[in-house]
């Protein structure tokens, strides 16, 4: 049985999938400034309020054993939820739609171009 979050992600993925190849990593670095209060990437990245995001694209949700994830994330992990570009896009658009009881207080990015760019930036840390 799929959760509402999984259904939302699948629907959003179908609409957004072609856009990722067009992301600009340099522009995404600027967008990532909105994330820096809680997340780090790059050499020496550490967990903060949120987990470090190196290697996030394409891995299972809640994959860092050194970070205390919300119960909501752990439920999604048990369902096999992966951080595909499509799922990351859905989460960055509206975190509470994917993980309604998650800890992240960020409201989301409203522009698809910003989401594509930040995803391109995150992909440079694989």
Question: In sequence order, what E strands does the chain have?
Answer: none
Q: What digits encode the pLDDT tens for the residues 64-116?
A: 999 999 999 999 999 999 999 999 999 999 999 999 998 898 999 999 999 99
The model's pLDDT over 28-71, given as tens digits with 9 standing for 90+, comes to: 999 999 999 999 999 999 999 999 999 999 999 999 999 999 99
Decide: residue 81, CB within 10 A, 0-12 exposed, 13-18 middle, 19+ buried: buried
Q: What is the pTM of this model?
A: 0.81
Please tell me the total count of domains within the chain: 1
- Domain of 106: which CATH number? 1.10.760.10
Expressed as residue numbers, the domain containing 47 is 4-123
């Amino acid at each position: 049985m799929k959760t509402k979050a999984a259904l939302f992600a699948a629907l959003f993925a179908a609409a957004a999938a072609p856009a990722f190849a067009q992301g600009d990593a340099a522009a995404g670095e600027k967008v990532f400034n909105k994330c820096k209060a809680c997340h780090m990437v790059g050499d020496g990245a550490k967990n903060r309020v949120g987990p470090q995001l190196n290697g996030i694209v394409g891995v299972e949700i809640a994959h860092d054993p050194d970070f205390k994830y919300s119960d909501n994330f752990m439920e999604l992990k048990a369902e096999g939820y992966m951080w595909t570009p499509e799922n990351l896009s859905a989460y960055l658009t509206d975190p509470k739609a994917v993980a309604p009881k998650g800890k992240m207080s960020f409201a989301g990015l409203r522009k698809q171009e910003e989401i594509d760019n930040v995803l391109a930036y995150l992909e440079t840390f694989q």
